[in-house]
Structure 1
């Protein structure tokens, strides 16, 4: 059975920046373990917990951003499948906007750094193609909403 995790691609819109979607930055967290890779906030589903609750709980635990800080966007959900140490893993991401772009991120011990980055910088940090594709797909979703 695949490990299952859920999280959010969190973004913020910067005031006084270029028009959308050029004013968008994505939140990536750098793990404090392993290869110190960069990832959106996410985590494993607890028994009896639904996926969206997991995403909210993990984002609060890992970045200090709770439901009161986020607006979950309709129409975007992306499932990634890959292997971790020889075991299948499935991660479901939703897209969530930070309501106040000035909200401070508070990291848990699981992460050593965080960065807000525009799309291409976020993709460079992300390193893994499936996550890069997911970030680009999220960005296209935001662009389509501007039309």
Structure 2
């Protein structure tokens, strides 16, 4: 396969993912209403999926500084999505929990995931879904290895 063919398949894949996103976005009305930045949305989705994550772990997972996470948190607190507080057992540590709006967003997000799986993903053979997952995981590994060797 030539580089042009790889490029074509890659661009078609990106277009399909963007189209999927565009069609599914209305299923999360609260997320649209909040007008969060991409970083703030990423923080919320990460926290919804893993509520015991620390700000340091969040920064590492998102590839941003702790300061950037902290800045994004200001808007999330203002919207009552996340609440930061000092850990009484270790006063140097900040804990986070969902605020009332965050709890509603989590409920919508879980309903959204169930809906997508039931309405669309379950229409595809499970083996095909597993192959897509395997390809994405393999691509992630290749990219990580490539970026790691560039840093050396």
Is the shorter-chain TM-score for this pair beyond 0.5, marking a shared fold?
no
Q: Whose Rg is larger?
A: 2
Of structures 1 and 2, the one with the larger relative CO (CA 8 A, separation 6+) is: 1
* TM-score under structure 2 length normalisation: 0.29
TM-score normalised by length of structure 1: 0.29
Q: Which has the higher strand share?
A: 1
